[in-house]
Structure 1
Amino acid sequence: MSEHKRIEGIAAPLLIDNLDTDQIMPKQFLRTITKEGLDRGVLFDLRFHPDGSPRPDFVLNRPEYKDASILVGGSNFGCGSSREHAVWGLQQLGVGAVIAPSFGEIFFSNALNNRLLLIVLEQDRVALLLKTLNTNRHRLLIDLEQMQLSCGSLAFAFTLGERHRKMIVEGLDMVGATLQFLPQIIAFENRHEAASPWAKVLPADEGNHGHIA
């Protein structure tokens, strides 16, 4: 089980309010049956010209933000449609965390369930953080044990639900997080079967394919 107690790296400002999931992952990149290659589509219309050449003035194409692993976004980051591809694409691009004053509700849930850390930080603190980042080579440290982000001498505490914090730190997906409760699940099944034996599902074998007894 891998642990990810700290996220440290270059933080890039992406100060676009109401940046929706259609912009984060345009529709033409949804025509796939796998998650592979979604990094190409992330913010495509902002990152590239129509001919596919990079836009040199876009923040993620600038040399000082090469390999940025943290984004500092605007209000209502990730609003819009529910496409989970936006989260997968950001992760494939190397983004491990997004900091913003607020997030779209569905994106917030999709991100944390996929172990993409989202941190809600008040607008005035975002402004102060960006100013400090400019004098500290854009580097930021996020400590998931101390629940604190720091840049130089600047430090802010943040909050995160314990379930999602544990998923990120321990590298658990939703299935892995659910299996943490396997003893309780088995105990519930046993109680339910004892109270309602007619509803018990028999194990599959040559003569039975999981039929109810």
Structure 2
Amino acid sequence: MDIDTVMTYRGDVSPGGAPAVRELDQLTITKVSVGPMDNNAYLLRCRSTGEQLLIDAANEAPRLLELVGDAGLATVVTTHQHMDHWVALEEVVAKTGARALAHADDAAGLPIESEPLADGDTVRVGDCPLEVIHLRGHTPGSIALLYRDPAGTPHLWTGDSLFPGGVGNTNKDPQRFAALIDDVEHKLFDRLPDETWFYPGHGKDSTLGTERPALPQWRTRGW
């Protein structure tokens, strides 16, 4: 089972503050906020193999490298091409030798060559598989990563495509918004249960069940 509980993990972090750590049966999740834009970075560690994967080397490379520690880093996944999510990418990869991965439609916007990902791909951190979910709209190649915990609830890292209270910024472009709200509704809310816990690129976490009742309102308001 998920041996951490909502009572002990809140996912509430701030720049310069302590990380929040969640221990699942097979996966350790460490969430940290880096400045200056209060970006979330997530270090995932397979508990059986010790392999580690970082989601968004956003900034403060020395701090992220300290978080990685002596265990090494196998992979860095960048959720999308906006600069505030990859400032530390080049340094982290250079100092750890980690593979850099990003969706093919955003990879060209990153500072180093990244192996292309596509919707439905699997990225592994040790024995733990993460499903790549392409969510168009915030950027052409924005992705989420899904971990279906065999002993608990699903866990979902959404980048800047889904937050508590709404989907990501689409710059008031009706076509981009339509693509994003459609993908978020059909690929996330329609497929996954209410107890799915999601971890966004900025700010606090939430669950799909908490946000689900507001989906019609999000569509109506257009952002």
TM-score with structure 2 setting the length: 0.28
The one of the two structures with greater contact order (alpha-carbon pairs below 8 A, sep at least 6) is 1
Bigger Rg, structure 1 or 2: 1
Higher strand share: 2
